[in-house]
Structure 1
Amino acid sequence: TGVDMAKMKIEFLAQYKERFGHTLRDRLVAHLPRYAPMISKVPGLPLLLNLRNHIPLIAKAQEWLTGISAKRSLPVWRSKHFWNQDDLPFVTPQELAKSNKRVVLFADTFNAYFENNNLQAALSLLQKSGYVIHVAQPDQDDQQQNPFCCGRTYLAAGMVPEAKKRITALVNHLLRL
């Protein structure tokens, strides 16, 4: 039919939220890329947040506060995640350009903070295959302190301008490679 339902849903949601506002749940989902790095740095906080999946009373209280169903388990926070490992291959754009077997690995928020094994497996496979790997991350002088974001969480909450801002930062970084 030529109708892009995903795009239509995002457009509707953006207009609806602009008119009626965002809920706490919307904000928690949307801004996950902003606060995930902070949560992971506080000793014991990931473990504490994971209690929600094991103690029904905490899940019910969170449902009442945020609107996130107590019946749904949440992703498990990890204290050891992708960004706090020592052996990540951060090659410069100049080093990357010298190789004819090069690849850029994008560590999205979900995989970096909740499913680290996916990124580790990708790194291992690429390294064993002889690729020079650049892990996309903001430069030290970049105003953006957090790792790059694909904008998906913002789109899910109808925050299209913020999603565009995030993906533009990523694309600008990739264009410099």
Structure 2
Amino acid sequence: RLPLLSRWLKRGLGLAEQRALPRFDGDFLATASASPATSTREVLLFVDTFNNYMEPENARAACRVLEAAGYRVHFNRAPQERPLCCGRTYLAAGQVDKAKAEARRTLDHLLPFVERGVSIVGLEPSCLLTMRDEFLRYGYGEEARALAKASLLFEEFLVRERDAGRMLLALKPLETPRVLLHGHCHQKAFDALRPVEQVLRWIPDLEVRTIETSCCGMAGSFGYEREHYETSMQMAELALLPAVRQAKAGDLVVADGTSCRHQIHDGAQRMASHVARVLERALV
């Protein structure tokens, strides 16, 4: 019955039947609570919709790594409200007023942390980097600029803190000798892929190979839509999918973007990991 229901849903929503539907896997923020106050160093982990409901293991891994690095971790849970959202999905559908409303709600919740010097760290590039780009265009002035300045991707935060001498992450070698890294389009646009390469190279004896790619072809919901499926796959076949298929069985494939991981799964039948999960595996 489930395959029949899946096909029915895809047809009704105009989705390509070749696509695997995302799987819901709980609600991370519903049970998450701040780390014990054993450190004066604080960080807020902004868990986006995708990692909250569909891949909470990424959020758990990031939390564990940050705690191992000596930080007290807070979360973007809004009491008595649904989880905070960057609003990018509204923008993608042209619903600008709703996107601005989500930005305002997010600003109101995060500014008290920003004002006391807490960094806002995100896992999903398209989500976190919305706070450094689109939020500045909504007319929220200095508040938006303050949030943008405090917002960092997970890897950017780790590199900044290590370079400043504020943390040292103890890591051990992995059983795999090589990682293949695919960069999300927003990471490339903001020159934020190099920090991913850096943190992976902190793991002893690990070879890091960055796949030279353009967009993976998924582009949010674009690659899911029936009329765009072929174009989406043609983009992925330019470089990404052939490189993943040629990977050895023991190689890890790393991609921070939710859409990118789904494209790799659908097109090459390989599971890609967020870098937070790789670092978690290497913790001493």
The structural deviation recorded for 1:83 is: 2.5
Q: Does 1:101 align with 2:41?
A: yes
Is the contact made by 2:29 and 2:75 (CA closer than 8 Å) also made in structure 1?
no
Q: Does 1:120 align with 2:67?
A: no
Aligned residues: CA RMSD: 2.4
Runs of 4+ in 1 over 3 A off after TM superposition: none
Which structure dedicates a bigger proportion of its chain to strand? Answer: 2
Cα deviation per residue 1:141-174 (whole Å; 9 max; x = unaligned)? xxxx201011122122221111111122111211
Task: Give the match for residue 134 of structure 1.
Answer: 74
Structure 1 Cα separation of the partners of residues 79 and 64 of structure 2: 24
- Is the aligned partner of 1:152 residue 2:88? yes
What is the aligned partner in structure 2 of residue 13 from structure 1? none
Q: Structure 2: which 5+ residue stretches go unaligned?
A: 114-284
| Structure 1 alignment gaps of length 5 or more | 1-47
Superposed CA deviations along residues 29-61 of structure 1, whole A, max 9, x for unmatched, are xxxxxxxxxxxxxxxxxxx9xx3xxx1x32332
Contact 1:90–1:134 (Cα < 8 Å) also in 2: yes
Alpha-carbon distance in structure 2 between the residues aligned to 1:139 and 1:58: 35
* Paired letter, 1:109: T
Give, in whole Å, the separation in 1 of the partners of 2:83 and 2:16. 28
Q: How does 1:19-38 map to 2 (within 5 A)?
A: none
The 3-state SS of whatever aligns with 1:176 is helix
Question: Counterparts in 2 of 1:87-98, with a 5 A limit?
Answer: 88-90=32-34
Q: Is the counterpart of residue 76 in structure 1 residue 23 in structure 2?
A: yes
Q: TM-score, normalised by structure 2?
A: 0.36
Q: What do residues 99-150 of structure 1 show as CA deviations (whole Å, max 9, x unaligned)? A: 641101111100000011110001001111221111112134xxxx201011
Contact 1:62 1:70 in 2 (8 A): no
- Contact map agreement 2:34 2:72 (CA 8 A) in 1: no
How many residues are paired up? Answer: 112
Q: Measure the CA separation in 1 of the matches of 2:68 and 2:10.
A: 45
Q: Is the 8 A contact 2:33 2:74 kept in 1?
A: yes
